[in-house]
Copies of this chain bind each other. A is one copy, B any other.
Amino acid sequence: MYGGALMAEDYRKMWEELRIDLEAHDGLLGVLPPLFSDVFLSQEGRPARMSYFDYVFSEVHGLRIQELVTHKDKGGIVVGTYCTYAPDELIMAANGISVGLCAGADVAPEAAMEFLPANLCPLIKSSLGFKLAKVCPYIESCDLLVGETTCDGKKKFYEILGEMQEVHVMELPQKKGDTDREMWKSEVRALAARLEEVSGQKIDVAGLKQAIKVANDKRRALLRLSELRKSDPPVISGRDALLISQIAFNDDPRRFTVKLNELCDELDKRRAQGKTIGGPARPRVMVSGCPMALPNWKLANVIETSGAVVAMEEMCTGIRYFRNLVDETPNDLEGLYDAIADRYLKIDCAVFTPNTERIENILGLVRDYDIDAVVYHALTACDPYTIEAYKVQKALEDAGVPMLYVETDYGDDSGQIATRVQALLEMVD
């Protein structure tokens, strides 16, 4: 599994060197184990191989950070990302480790409000809160942060973040025509150049092909898990699948792939043996919309403790992250860069206009995963997803699938959401 585990005092030394606020960080780490235990460990009959992901989570600020430090000591770089649009392949090919930085809990909201308006997406406020409170060893390990002009909130947030750390902002186009594709291709090349500059290492064909394979293998494993979630009754819970998606952004990709495939082997067997999780058939729910960054498990937990199973996440912490593969066939840098650009431009985020692809993909998922109801996860003030909910709802209505629109942030509104989710489930039971 991981290399030799360090002692607690070694972690504190490492965090100190990263200029982490130890007291605030202790507070944060103290909250997580009981929450994790409540949401995950309380599940009956979990697959044994989930233990790897549980362990990774328990060491998410420990061993994994130590790996980043070791990598940097050996001359590598660490690059932070905030979106599924950041091409991991380029980061890997430039001797980098890519780490996801979006944050899923309210941290230092008052401090963040000195820079950002109160009425803003909780994910962005949290990202800045983690930085300001100095409780995120990932961001403090980063040599470069990569942003994209996705939504207004993030686009303008990166300007403020850029005063605190090096940020490279890729311009993501807003349509998907020919000019847009050309622009995006040049942005992919500009990022490659920036990464080469930061890492002092040229990206070559062999390295990039290798990186593409590593990233695709990870996606293939995640897709394999998704396929297994078509089982009815289910062999894995939606909460566990969400945890795996969240961990995918920060774990070592090669090891993650091995471990996820081992889990899938176990799930194959369980399916063959008729071993399910959570007992008999339950309503199958798809969660659709905004991402759920670690440790945001609220909605999945509410749905699954209300008697349904989440069979699919149509989110960036879900299938939007791994649906598409990069073409592995080109044998020259230009061809590989284009293949990367093409792959990432396929992502059907609501920031694009028009975004009919997403509607078609949602209908396809509803069909393929035999979905009974959709819960639309809208983070407060996320205009692209909150507005696109109208088109999604309309399409689902036409398909005869009920949708519950839940606008929420990182506050504790589980009770109200549960009432609404239960009403939805009664409709489809």
Contact: B174 with A183, CB < 8 Å? Answer: no
Contact of A155 among B153, B182, B353, B380 (CB under 8 A): B353
Contact: B119 with A119, CB < 8 Å? Answer: yes
Q: How far is the CA of A152 from the CA of B155 in the complex (A)?
A: 11
A397 to chain B, nearest CB (A): 13
Would you call A351 an interface residue if the criterion is a C-beta within 8 Å of the partner chain's C-beta atoms? yes
List CB contacts (< 8 Å) of A374-392 with chain B.
378, 380-381, 383-384, 386-391
Supposing A149-B175, A174-B149 touch, asked if A383 and B350 sit within 8 A by C-beta, the answer is no
Determine the chain B residues whose CB is within 8 A of the CB of A354 once the complex forms.
159
Would you call A180 an interface residue if the criterion is a C-beta within 8 Å of the partner chain's C-beta atoms? yes
Looking at A160, A171, A351, A355, the one whose CB has the most chain B CB atoms below 10 A away is A171
Smallest Cβ-Cβ distance to A394: which chain B residue: B163
Binary interface profile of A, 138-177, with partner B (CB < 8 Å = 1, else 0)? Answer: 0000000000010111011111100000000101111101
Determine the chain B residues whose CB is within 8 A of the CB of A351 once the complex forms.
152
List CB contacts (< 8 Å) of A350-366 with chain B.
350-351, 353-355
Contact: A387 with B174, CB < 8 Å? Answer: no
Q: How far is the CA of A9 from the CA of B394 in the complex (A)?
A: 41
Q: How far is the CA of A62 from the CA of B398 in the complex (A)?
A: 41
Determine the chain B residues whose CB is within 8 A of the CB of A182 once the complex forms.
179
Would you call A201 an interface residue if the criterion is a C-beta within 8 Å of the partner chain's C-beta atoms? no
Q: How far is the CA of A191 from the CA of B424 in the complex (A)?
A: 45
Contact of A152 among B152, B158, B175 (CB under 8 A): B152
Contact of A383 among B171, B173, B383 (CB under 8 A): B383
Determine the chain B residues whose CB is within 8 A of the CB of A173 once the complex forms.
171, 173, 183
Determine the chain B residues whose CB is within 8 A of the CB of A172 once the complex forms.
174
Q: How far is the CA of A115 from the CA of B392 in the complex (A)?
A: 11
A410 to chain B, nearest CB (A): 16
Contact: B387 with A158, CB < 8 Å? Answer: no
Determine the chain B residues whose CB is within 8 A of the CB of A149 once the complex forms.
174-175, 353
Would you call A116 an interface residue if the criterion is a C-beta within 8 Å of the partner chain's C-beta atoms? yes
A240 to chain B, nearest CB (A): 31
Smallest Cβ-Cβ distance to A153: which chain B residue: B383
Would you call A30 an interface residue if the criterion is a C-beta within 8 Å of the partner chain's C-beta atoms? no
Smallest Cβ-Cβ distance to A156: which chain B residue: B387
Determine the chain B residues whose CB is within 8 A of the CB of A231 once the complex forms.
none
Would you call A324 an interface residue if the criterion is a C-beta within 8 Å of the partner chain's C-beta atoms? no
Would you call A296 an interface residue if the criterion is a C-beta within 8 Å of the partner chain's C-beta atoms? no
A62 to chain B, nearest CB (A): 34
Q: How far is the CA of A351 from the CA of B155 in the complex (A)?
A: 8
A378 to chain B, nearest CB (A): 7
Determine the chain B residues whose CB is within 8 A of the CB of A117 once the complex forms.
378, 383, 386-387, 389, 407
Looking at A119, A152, A171, A177, the one whose CB has the most chain B CB atoms below 10 A away is A152
Contact: B386 with A160, CB < 8 Å? Answer: no
Could you pull out 30 A-B pairs where Cβ atoms are within 8 angstroms? A116-B387, A116-B390, A117-B387, A117-B389, A117-B407, A119-B119, A119-B380, A149-B174, A149-B353, A151-B152, A151-B383, A152-B152, A152-B351, A153-B383, A155-B353, A155-B384, A156-B383, A156-B387, A157-B387, A158-B353, A159-B353, A159-B355, A159-B387, A159-B388, A160-B391, A174-B174, A179-B186, A180-B183, A183-B183, A383-B383
Residues of chain A at the chain B interface (Cβ within 8 Å)? 115-117, 119-120, 149, 151-153, 155-160, 169, 171-175, 177, 179-180, 182-183, 186, 350-351, 353-355, 378, 380-381, 383-384, 386-391, 407
Kindly list the 4 A-B residue pairs having the minimum CB-CB distance in the complex, ordered from nearest: A156-B387, A117-B386, A152-B383, A149-B174
Besides A155-B384, A172-B174, 12 more A-B contacts (Cβ < 8 Å) are A116-B390, A119-B380, A120-B383, A120-B387, A152-B387, A155-B174, A156-B387, A157-B387, A159-B387, A159-B388, A171-B175, A383-B383
